[in-house]
């Protein structure tokens, strides 16, 4: 029997904590297999991690869960950048860690420079670490072309170096070897992936995420210039475009199995109220509004209330088949399920009386996303991912093996 629903699973805090599997994860995924050991329900993993290629993450998940996972089931925070073709031929500075050049090239970017390479060309820009200061002054041996955009893939290792050089690029309109310019605003485009303020690893408390690095960058930029740092696009959870792309992958799985009926309900399982729950509820609101409008709305890369605009619409230059599919959602709702094995404690994260004013110490979401009490309220709260699967099967009256399906 064809299921009318699909799963969107977060990874960190739901399936693993750092490199340590959460015990309930493997048990949960055995329930998602039919008697032929194949997925009986479409499954997509939606993570804000962005420091590796899709295939490596799929291999990691296969090992952790004990089931075969393909790269087409994995959405990294940077995955939707495949749609931003306008930037693929520009000279782009990339920040983060891991195989950044391989990741960016896989997404379609061609002209790239890393922070490390920029630091090699202009060693005088990196002066905080006294041990790294150049002993001999010299003129750069390479004439670097103008940097036309900046892509923030994730938290870097040497924050001070990344913060300094990104500010240099912004305040010189892409020529970091030049003096700062008063006319460098509005600055060159910045695209950021993964807005998680914190994430859950093996430690007992959450660790700084890329959202914390972005917070530092935004405040430094404003302190120096008096202006707001603007983003051309914010990608990864909780942005709508990430969930729209996830739904596309769900539909592709259903099509591969030759299921005729559309997938109407998405269940998003996560541990972070400000990304997983906010994002799922935001996409559910989008689906409701799209259904009422009765038309194909454009996919916003930012939530309403952002400081900039960036959309991917049907009218854009679309080369890949999957991009045209993204323009039309078939799901009618996206329900959020919070598990208690990661970042969020549902009893303390949000005040019981959400009508009271919400301070920044409570709202850990990015500054360009408006706080709305309805968006951080999960549809269901369960102990772990295994309980989440049980709940969803109960709500849908579904069992993987058709012979075990309840009447």
For residue range 58-70, what is the model confidence (pLDDT) as tens digits?
999 999 999 999 9
Query: Over the chain, what is the mean pLDDT?
Result: 86
For residue range 90-123, what is the model confidence (pLDDT) as tens digits?
999 999 999 999 999 999 999 999 999 999 999 9
For residue range 383-393, what is the model confidence (pLDDT) as tens digits?
999 999 999 99
For residue range 276-307, what is the model confidence (pLDDT) as tens digits?
999 999 999 999 988 776 544 444 444 333 34
Nearest to 4 by CA among 272, 392, 269: 392
Tell me the three state secondary structure of residue 46.
strand
Question: Which neighbouring-strand residues pair with 311?
Answer: 300
Note whether 376 and 370 are within 8 A (CB).
no
Q: Rounded to an integer, what distance in angstroms lies between the CA atom of residue 52 and that of residue 242? A: 17
- φ, ψ for residue 124, nearest 5 deg: -70, -15
Question: What pLDDT is recorded for position 283?
Answer: 95
For residue range 20-29, what is the model confidence (pLDDT) as tens digits?
899 999 999 9
In the structure encoding, which two tokens stand for residue 63, read together? 């090992």
Strands (E), 172-256: 190-193, 198-199, 207-208, 233-235
Pairing type for strands 265-270 and 333-339 reads: parallel
Tell me the three state secondary structure of residue 302.
coil
For residue range 43-60, what is the model confidence (pLDDT) as tens digits?
999 999 888 999 999 999
Pairing type for strands 20-21 and 16-17 reads: antiparallel
pLDDT bracket for residue 396 (50, 70, 90): very high
Task: Please determine, for residue 314, whether its predicted confidence score (pLDDT) is greater than 70.
Answer: no
Provide mean pLDDT across the span 187-215. Answer: 92
Cα of 339 vs its chain's centroid, Å: 19
Question: What pLDDT is recorded for position 136?
Answer: 76
Task: Please determine, for residue 88, whether its predicted confidence score (pLDDT) is greater than 50.
Answer: yes
Work out the number of other CB atoms within 10 angstroms of the CB of residue 363: 20
In the structure encoding, which two tokens stand for residue 97, read together? 């860690």
For residue range 324-365, what is the model confidence (pLDDT) as tens digits?
546 577 899 999 999 999 887 655 544 455 444 344 446 788
Note whether 276 and 45 are within 8 A (CB).
no
CA dihedral 363, 369, 370, 373 (to 10 degrees): -50
Tell me the three state secondary structure of residue 334.
strand
In the block, tokens 């038309």 appear at: 295
């Amino acid at each position: 029997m064809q299921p009318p629903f699909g799963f969107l699973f977060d990874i960190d805090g739901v399936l693993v904590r750092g490199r340590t599997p959460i015990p309930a994860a493997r048990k949960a995924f055995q329930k998602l297999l039919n008697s032929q050991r194949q997925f009986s329900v479409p499954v997509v993993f939606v993570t804000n991690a962005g420091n590796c290629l899709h295939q490596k993450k799929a291999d990691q998940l296969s090992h952790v869960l004990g089931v075969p996972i393909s790269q087409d089931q994995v959405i990294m925070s940077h995955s939707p950048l495949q749609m931003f073709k306008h930037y693929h031929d520009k000279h782009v500075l990339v920040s983060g860690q891991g195989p950044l050049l391989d990741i960016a090239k896989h997404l379609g970017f061609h002209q790239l420079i890393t922070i490390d390479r920029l630091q090699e060309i202009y060693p005088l820009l990196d002066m905080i670490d006294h041990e790294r200061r150049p002993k001999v002054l010299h003129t750069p041996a390479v004439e670097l072309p103008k940097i036309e955009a900046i892509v923030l893939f994730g938290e870097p290792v040497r924050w001070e170096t990344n913060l300094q050089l990104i500010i240099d690029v912004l305040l010189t309109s892409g020529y970091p070897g030049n003096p700062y310019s008063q006319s460098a605003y509005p600055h060159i485009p910045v695209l950021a992936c993964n807005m998680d303020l914190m994430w859950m690893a093996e430690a007992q408390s959450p660790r700084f995420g890329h959202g914390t690095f972005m917070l530092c960058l935004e405040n430094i930029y404003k302190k120096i210039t008096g202006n707001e740092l603007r983003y051309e696009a914010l990608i990864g959870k909780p942005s709508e475009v990430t969930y729209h792309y996830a739904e596309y992958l769900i539909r592709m799985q259903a099509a591969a199995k030759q299921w005729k009926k559309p997938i109407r309900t998405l269940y998003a399982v996560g541990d972070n109220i400000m990304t997983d729950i906010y994002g799922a509820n935001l996409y559910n609101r989008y689906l409701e509004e799209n259904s009422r409008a009765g038309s194909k709305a454009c996919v916003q890369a930012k939530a309403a209330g952002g400081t900039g605009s960036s959309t991917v619409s049907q009218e854009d230059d679309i080369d890949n088949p999957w991009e045209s599919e993204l323009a039309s959602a078939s799901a009618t709702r996206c329900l959020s399920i919070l598990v208690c094995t990661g970042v969020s404690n549902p009893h303390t994260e949000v005040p019981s009386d959400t009508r009271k004013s919400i301070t920044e110490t409570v709202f850990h979401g990015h500054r360009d996303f408006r706080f709305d009490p309805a968006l951080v309220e999960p549809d269901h709260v369960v102990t772990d991912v295994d309980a989440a699967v049980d709940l969803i099967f109960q709500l849908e009256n579904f069992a993987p093996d058709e012979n075990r399906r309840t009447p």
